A and B are shown apart, each in its own frame.
Chain A
Amino acid sequence: MHKRLMSRQRLWLLAGYAAAATALFCAPLFLSDFRLNLLAKFLAFAIVALGLDLIWGYTGILSLGHGVFFGLGGYAMAMYLKLEASGGRLPDFMDWSGLSALPWFWKPFSSFGFAFAAGILLPALLALVLGYFTFRNRIKGVYFTILTQALVIITVTLFIGQQAFTGGTNGITGYGKLFGQSLASPDTKQMLYWVTVIALIAAYALCRFLVKSRFGKVLRAIRDGENRVRFIGYNPAIYQMVAFSISAGLAGLAGMLFVLHVGIISPSMMGIVPSIEMVLWVAIGGRGTLIGAALGAILLNSAKSVFSESYPDAWLFFMGLLFVIVVVFLPKGAAGLLGQFKWLRRRRAKHGEGDGVHYPAV
């Protein structure tokens, strides 16, 4: 009986996934080019949210540095596109800054394969190095969070300061073509949208696989009681490093897609505020549930694009208020709210006796 119920639930779940995927794939049929581009951007953000959920919702480590990883991915793709657009000449902003030759670290980015790999591997590597030097020493919780925030500040300062190599405050923009197709044409945009949908589904599948696997169980165990995990004989630092690194790689992937959709990357997109906004997406959608995190990113950004166009001031108030409300009243986010309703109903049916699950204080 129980098993059949589970399988029916599974069936519904699968049907839901299929419906969502179909809706995403068919979106170009009933959305204008402008809206489609926006949606594509939000889907890229959803990939960041998935990665962030993996590290925060499942492992209990709050990173305020995902803007950096996102930005690194974005810059990798932007460097390729810029070199492609400059067609063998020096990119324009280097000319303005008085550089006469292409810096050595720009050279390999003329190949798409290298740029793509770097967009994922560079953030992952940076996260791995930072993780190695922090988790190994049991620098965790708040200390780690503050370090990631410092990482954001110094990266932004560095990117603004090294104007000749990074384009400074303006960032890198003015691309033309990708694989010979103009980035501005609606056909390319539609193609890129589909690429993003596929990337999002792949990222979701990867995260779901990780979360359901033994690896994911250890991650949750680390979240709920790191020392116990250590005493059982696991080395939490390795798991934290790997999870952090995967999460950063996903952010890098999202950054690359973002650049393709928006056509610009600049230090302001990897600063403190965007980084913490990413956390808000996950918090609102529901940390600890992948679908919640992804939906949170899409919904919150849609709300932002609607609101901030008409009331930019009210939006900041609203965002601040959201932070407070979610943290104080909805620690599990919107997905948790849904679960709570279900739980209440079941409880009413059973008459008392809670299941004793509570969110740990991280």
Chain B
Amino acid sequence: MDVIVLQLFNGFSVSSILLLIALGLAITFGLMKVINMAHGELIMIGAYSAYVVQNLFLSYMPSSMFNWYFIAAIPFSFIVAFLIGLLLEATLIRFLYGRPLDSLLATWGIGLMLQQLARTIFGAPNVGVTSPSWLNGGMTIMGDVVLPYKRLFIIALVCLCLVAMYVYIYRSHSGRRMRAVMQNREMAACLGISTRRVDAMTFAIGSGIAGIAGCALTLMGPIGPSIGTYYIVDAFMVVVLGGVGKLIGTVFGALGIGLSNTVFEYWTTASLGKVLVFLCIVAFLQWKPMGLVAMRSRSLD
């Protein structure tokens, strides 16, 4: 019983990280049809932003304040990644709308350069970020099952991001403009929406969420220039499995991959578990080629 609860919790924990990464992708890929392979590097930027904030707190703030650096790091990571996303959109992505495969290659090149840049600035070895002391330890339930606070915090953070995204996309004016542009660009433009501004904003928000994901990853272990590449393909699989265009699909996609990954890895070995998950995804796509939740459309392509 204990083992089952622990595995279930681990599954949710993995899912929450996948979801946080995939949320940003769901926006850029799902809504804009841009394959942003540099998403992993935006995560890396977010992680290094947290590292920088930590170092700033260490050198300029009284040590009693140090524990609260993480609260400052989250918005800071978001803003840094947001601005870089804005820059990226203005200089490169805008030329690639409607060419998803080309956007994949170009952003992969960008990712390569960003990785190399990080290696130049921060050095190739991994750096550690000290988690605030109030996240150490864990909650004990059912006698001897320990749920680490760090993982609980990440799950809470993901829920918060999800709610914020939901409110922004479905309940705000700019979110409505965003959905309008993604559903029918020409018509939205005719009605007076500045599609350029909406595109830039959408991409930047997707990037900003990647920054938050990077910040959260610093809690899980040391960070390095290639931290994003570990997660990026899994996150893309979440979007493919979940279907594009709706947030709820991404949530279920992340839960599906995260939980099945944990279960299969528990049953078999880590490497065989991954193979089984992949086979399951391909099998699932036989049944629903467009993913779990697909936007209904009469257009053929």
| Residues on A facing B (Cβ under 8 Å) | 62, 130, 133-134, 137-139, 141-143, 145-147, 149-151, 153-154, 157-158, 160-162, 227, 272, 276, 279-280, 283, 313, 316-317, 319-324, 326-328, 331, 361-362
Quick one: given A138-B289, A157-B271, are A320 and B111 in contact (CB under 8 Å)?
yes
Interface size classification for chain B:
35 or more
**Contact residues in B for A149 (Cβ distance below 8 Å):** 233, 236
A49 CB to nearest chain B CB (Å): 15
Which residues between 62 and 109 of chain B lie within 8 Å of chain A, taking CB atoms? 92, 95-96, 98-106, 108-109
Quick one: given A133-B282, A322-B109, A323-B106, are A154 and B100 in contact (CB under 8 Å)?
no
Q: Which of A145, A151, A227, A319 contacts B101 (CB 8 A)?
A: A145
Query: Which residue in chain B gives the minimum CB-CB distance to A64?
Result: B104
Would you give the 0/1 interface string for B268-282, flagging 1 where the beta carbon is closer than 8 Å to chain A? 011110110010011
Cα distance, A318 to B250, chains bound together (Å): 35
A362 touches B112 (CB 8 A): no
Q: Chain B contact residues: over half helix, strand or loop, or mixed?
A: helix
**Contact residues in A for B177 (Cβ distance below 8 Å):** none
Cα distance, A34 to B300, chains bound together (Å): 54
Q: Which of B29, B270, B283 contacts A157 (CB 8 A)?
A: B270
Quick one: given A319-B112, A320-B112, A321-B109, are A137 and B285 in contact (CB under 8 Å)?
yes
Q: Chain A contact residues: over half helix, strand or loop, or mixed?
A: helix
B240 touches A147 (CB 8 A): yes
B109 touches A272 (CB 8 A): no
A154 touches B237 (CB 8 A): no
B116 proximal to A (CB < 8 A): yes
**Contact residues in B for A157 (Cβ distance below 8 Å):** 270-271, 274-275
Cα distance, A326 to B29, chains bound together (Å): 22
Query: Which residue in chain B gives the minimum CB-CB distance to A158?
Result: B271
B270 touches A142 (CB 8 A): no
Cα distance, A160 to B269, chains bound together (Å): 12
Q: Which of A153, A158, A162, A361 contacts B98 (CB 8 A)?
A: A361
Cα distance, A322 to B113, chains bound together (Å): 10
B35 touches A133 (CB 8 A): no
B195 proximal to A (CB < 8 A): no
Cα distance, A143 to B284, chains bound together (Å): 13
B120 proximal to A (CB < 8 A): yes
User: Can you sample 18 A-B contacts with CB below 8 Å?
Assistant: A62-B101, A141-B101, A142-B35, A143-B240, A149-B233, A153-B233, A154-B271, A157-B275, A158-B272, A161-B271, A227-B300, A272-B233, A316-B115, A319-B112, A323-B108, A328-B95, A328-B106, A362-B99
A329 CB to nearest chain B CB (Å): 9
